[in-house]
């Protein structure tokens, strides 16, 4: 790996975290790198669905409307249970220990960005399998497209919006129980229901799709 490639990977990881945390900013000077790694990083993030590149303008956190977000959740409702089914035969006793640790990290996360990262870690761990690379990448892309709106629903200023946290914890535990028991049908059904519940919550609050605070990185000329 070249120096620029290493810098791009390092910046991509930090930018992804900042996007989920809602603190995307200009960082080329902060990282002490040239614009080349920044441009390469932005291309990586665009391919993952996290940002949208606008010619001669910069990169902006990807945005959706309600119909697009609903479509993505409907896709996840079908694809993630399938991915879980394909992964389950490869799980081991060591995997179950990892899944339990992931579930616990979700439950102790406080900040919205941290919660979303740990929640994603839990799902990724459950669905990881040696023969599901293409499907796994597709599901990851769908996650990245919707993270901004999930963060809006979890934000401290969400007011009277109904919280999903406790429900998420309980649903994770039910999915995990089915996975440990090797009950593929129940694990699939619970995973689909888990995603559907979040979709229904998103649909209750269409105002998050009119929020204009998505951050951006303006390219230097």
- What is the spatial distance between Cα 212 and Cα 196, in angstroms, rounded to a whole number? 26
Q: How does the average pLDDT of the chain come out, rounded?
A: 79
Please choose, from the candidates 205, 214, 211, the residue with its C-alpha nearest in 3D space to the C-alpha of residue 70. 205
Residue 24, number of CB atoms within 10 A of its CB: 22
Q: Which of 35-49, 64-78, 195-209 has the lowest mean pLDDT?
A: 35-49
Residue-wise pLDDT tens digits, 56-87: 556 666 677 899 899 999 999 999 999 999 99
**Beta strands 51-54 and 58-61: pairing type?**
antiparallel
**Beta strands 51-54 and 216-218: pairing type?**
unpaired
Residue-wise pLDDT tens digits, 83-97: 999 999 999 999 999
Task: Give 52's strand partners.
Answer: 60
102 within 8 A of 121, measured Cβ to Cβ:
yes
Residue-wise pLDDT tens digits, 139-172: 988 988 887 778 777 765 555 456 788 899 999 9
pTM > 0.75: no
48 within 8 A of 58, measured Cβ to Cβ:
no
Please choose, from the candidates 144, 131, 177, 134, the residue with its C-alpha nearest in 3D space to the C-alpha of residue 50. 144
């Amino acid at each position: 790996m070249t120096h620029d490639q290493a810098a791009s990977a390092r910046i991509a990881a930090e930018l992804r975290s900042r996007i989920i945390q809602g603190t995307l900013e200009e960082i080329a000077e902060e990282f002490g790198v040239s614009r080349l790694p920044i441009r390469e990083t932005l291309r990586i993030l665009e391919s993952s669905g996290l940002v949208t590149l606008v010619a001669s303008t910069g990169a902006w956190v990807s945005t959706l409307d309600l119909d697009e977000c609903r479509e993505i959740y409907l896709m996840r409702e079908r694809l993630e249970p399938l991915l879980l089914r394909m992964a389950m035969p490869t799980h081991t006793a060591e995997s179950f220990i990892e899944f339990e640790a992931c579930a616990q990290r979700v439950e102790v996360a406080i900040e919205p960005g941290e919660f979303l990262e740990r929640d994603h870690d839990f799902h990724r761990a459950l669905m990881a399998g040696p023969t599901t690379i293409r499907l796994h990448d597709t599901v990851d892309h769908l996650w990245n497209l919707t993270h901004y709106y999930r963060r809006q629903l979890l934000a401290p200023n969400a007011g009277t919006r109904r919280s999903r946290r406790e429900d998420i914890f309980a649903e994770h535990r039910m999915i995990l129980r089915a996975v440990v028991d090797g009950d593929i049908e129940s694990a699939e059904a619970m995973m689909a229901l888990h995603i559907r519940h979040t979709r229904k919550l998103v649909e209750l609050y269409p105002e998050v799709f009119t929020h204009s605070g998505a951050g951006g990185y303006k390219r230097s000329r």
